[in-house]
């Protein structure tokens, strides 16, 4: 029996709270009940607060939509105006657009005599650019540039 008394003394000396039955069990049950009460009370309040904030947020969003929507053009309107700009004849025949087409011609080597003469020709007048774009086939465009500039590809 001395051994069991030592175990009890050891447990009380170390301050251990391990107990299968006793005062600690009752304390833990009461603290759990108190925790449950406070948790459910705070969650009810949080739910009410969340509902109020959601309602306020929805109202503000609706009001902002009513104010802002008429002032912002729709994506469809922007796309339509962009397409109209691209279809305008003066946009199609800009120097930039013509130079891009010239650079995409695989038969014309960049910085060759034909390329330089074609650049000067295209930049000179809008009617030159219109005539250049009148040919749908890239080979025909090159032949047109050779004819108008007097330069050949192989030079």
The string of pLDDT tens digits covering residues 4-50 is 444 444 444 444 444 445 445 545 545 554 444 444 455 787 888 77
Whether this prediction's pTM lies above 0.75 is answered by: no
pLDDT at 121 over 90: yes
pLDDT recorded at residue 50? 79
- Between the alpha carbon of residue 149 and those of residues 118, 120, 126, the distances in Å are 6, 9, 16
pLDDT recorded at residue 17? 47
In sequence order, which residues have a C-beta less than 8 Å from that of residue 145 and are 6 or more positions away? Answer: 102, 108, 114, 117, 118, 121, 132, 151
Report d(CA 127, CA 104) in Å as an integer. 20
Question: Where is pLDDT greater, at 43 or 69?
Answer: 43
Question: Averaged over 134-139, what is the pLDDT?
Answer: 94
Question: Where is pLDDT greater, at 3 or 118?
Answer: 118
């Amino acid at each position: 029996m001395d051994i069991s008394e030592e175990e009890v003394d050891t447990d009380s000396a170390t301050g251990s709270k391990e107990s299968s039955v006793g005062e600690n069990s009752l304390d833990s049950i009461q603290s759990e009940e108190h925790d449950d009460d406070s948790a459910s009370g705070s969650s009810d309040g949080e739910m009410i607060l969340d509902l109020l904030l959601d309602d306020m947020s929805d109202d503000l969003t609706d009001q902002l939509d009513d104010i802002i929507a008429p002032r912002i053009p729709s994506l469809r309107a922007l796309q339509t105006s962009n397409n109209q700009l691209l279809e305008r004849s003066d946009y199609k025949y800009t120097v930039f657009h013509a130079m891009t087409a010239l650079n995409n011609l695989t038969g014309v080597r960049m910085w060759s005599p034909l390329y330089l003469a074609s650049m000067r020709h295209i930049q000179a007048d809008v009617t030159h650019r219109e005539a250049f774009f009148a040919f749908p086939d890239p080979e025909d465009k090159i032949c047109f540039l050779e004819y108008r500039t007097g330069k050949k590809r192989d030079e």
